[in-house]
Amino acid sequence: MLVSSNTLLKDARDKGYAFPHFNYWDSNSIRAEIAAAEELGLPVILAWAEKHSPEIGIDDALALGKYFGSKAKVPVVLHLDHGTDPELVKYGIDNGFTSVMMDASDKDIEENIEITKDIVKYAHTRGVVVEAEIGHVGTNETEDNSMYTEVDAAVRFSKETQVDSLAVSIGTSHGVYKQGTPKLNFERLVELRKAVSIPLALHGGSSSGDDNLEKAVNRGITKVNIYTDLANAALFEAKKDYHTETEMALAQREAMKKLAIHYYEVFGTDSYCYQILK
Ligand SMILES: [Zn+2]
């Protein structure tokens, strides 16, 4: 069944664990992610990112998400990840995403607040929750373009926009790291967690290192975004010598499922979140 992420993330914040957020880009990935959640009996956050539009457009992603999500045996949050176009985000809200991210983090804070505020109003009257981002989680293409989230800015932003959760930048990046695991700013995370009462999300979880992620969760992160590791797990299988395409697809699904289960364990979801399912 499709649900909102509100109760899930609040529960995680209260008890000190996190939910993995898995991006999906085709039917194999979404089925692997749901299979992992069903095997553990845990809710799952499934996300389609606007940047994946060339591979799978919003309508196809919604069709897949609603179909597999509503027949899943566990609660499923259907999330629109990194929506940069407010019109597309509104379209997503109207057509079945139960959670959206409005990402105006490349704008200055005033403009980010205005754009996010507008989406929050639109989403809340329609029962949809909103994540936004301040600071900037960059990619690994250019080494130095991630900026740490400022505490004062996070407080002001969450108050003025009434956003439901906030993606913060503490040193992770999207994609694969070129020089080993990243160094995260845990002090900043602790300050942010203390100052801001809404759940905090960490983007660029892939290949950040299990120790780093566990520490981040212990210090206040309640959602960790995972994409690249799943895509790489599938790619790794594709390089093996399978005899048929279906054999390869099944192996890829199994590999992605295993990795998803691993992240539930790293984030403590499997130990702490049973109560909310009852
Ligand atoms: Zn992201």
Q: Tell me how far the alpha carbon of residue 243 lies from the centroid of ligand 1, in angstroms.
A: 35
Residue 77, both tokens: 């949050």
Average pLDDT value over all residues in the chain: 93
Within a 13 Å sphere around the CA of 194, how many CA atoms are in the beta-carbon half?
Answer: 9
Q: Hey, which residues does 156 pair with through a beta bridge?
A: none
CATH number for the domain spanning 136: value is: 3.20.20.70
**Which percentage of the chain shows pLDDT scores above 90?**
85
Q: Tell me how far the alpha carbon of residue 221 lies from the centroid of ligand 1, in angstroms.
A: 14
Q: Tell me how far the alpha carbon of residue 225 lies from the centroid of ligand 1, in angstroms.
A: 7
Q: What is the pLDDT of residues 160-210, one digit of tens each?
A: 999 999 999 998 988 888 878 888 999 999 999 999 999 999 999 998 999
So what's the pLDDT on residue 142?
53
Distance of CA 245 to the CA centre of its chain: 29
Q: Tell me how far the alpha carbon of residue 263 lies from the centroid of ligand 1, in angstroms.
A: 17
pTM: predicted TM-score of the whole model, two decimal places: 0.94
- Eight-state DSSP code of residue 44: E
Categorize the per-residue pLDDT at 72 as very low, low, confident or very high, splitting at 50, 70 and 90: very high
Q: Tell me how far the alpha carbon of residue 103 lies from the centroid of ligand 1, in angstroms.
A: 9
Please provide residue 266's backbone torsions phi and psi, each rounded to the nearest 5 degrees.
-60, -35
What is the C-alpha to C-alpha distance for residues 78 and 65, in angstroms, rounded to an integer? 7
Q: Tell me how far the alpha carbon of residue 21 lies from the centroid of ligand 1, in angstroms.
A: 10
Range of the domain at 72: 2-277
So what's the pLDDT on residue 37?
97
Per the listing, tokens 């984030």 go with 267
Computed on alpha carbons and rounded to an integer, the radius of gyration of the chain in Å comes to: 18
So what's the pLDDT on residue 181?
87
Q: Report H helices in the chain.
A: 6-15, 27-40, 58-71, 86-94, 109-124, 151-161, 186-195, 210-218, 228-238, 245-266, 269-272
**Which percentage of the chain shows pLDDT scores above 70?**
96
Give the contacts of 268 (CB within 8 A, at least 6 positions apart): 16, 17, 18, 214, 217
What is the C-alpha to C-alpha distance for residues 144 and 225, in angstroms, rounded to an integer? 20
So what's the pLDDT on residue 143?
47
What is the C-alpha to C-alpha distance for residues 86 and 125, in angstroms, rounded to an integer? 16
Count of structural domains within the chain: 1
Residue 278 has pLDDT above 60, yes or no: no
Q: Tell me how far the alpha carbon of residue 46 lies from the centroid of ligand 1, in angstroms.
A: 13
Residue 53 has pLDDT above 70, yes or no: yes
Among residues 210, 85, 51, 191, which one has the least CA distance to residue 135?
191
Q: What is the pLDDT of residues 92-102, one digit of tens each?
A: 999 999 999 99
So what's the pLDDT on residue 180?
82
Q: What is the pLDDT of residues 118-172, one digit of tens each?
A: 999 999 999 999 999 998 777 765 545 557 899 999 999 999 999 999 999 998 9
Q: Tell me how far the alpha carbon of residue 202 lies from the centroid of ligand 1, in angstroms.
A: 8
- Eight-state DSSP code of residue 78: E
**12-17: average pLDDT:** 94
Which residues are identified as catalytic? Answer: 81
Q: Tell me how far the alpha carbon of residue 155 lies from the centroid of ligand 1, in angstroms.
A: 21
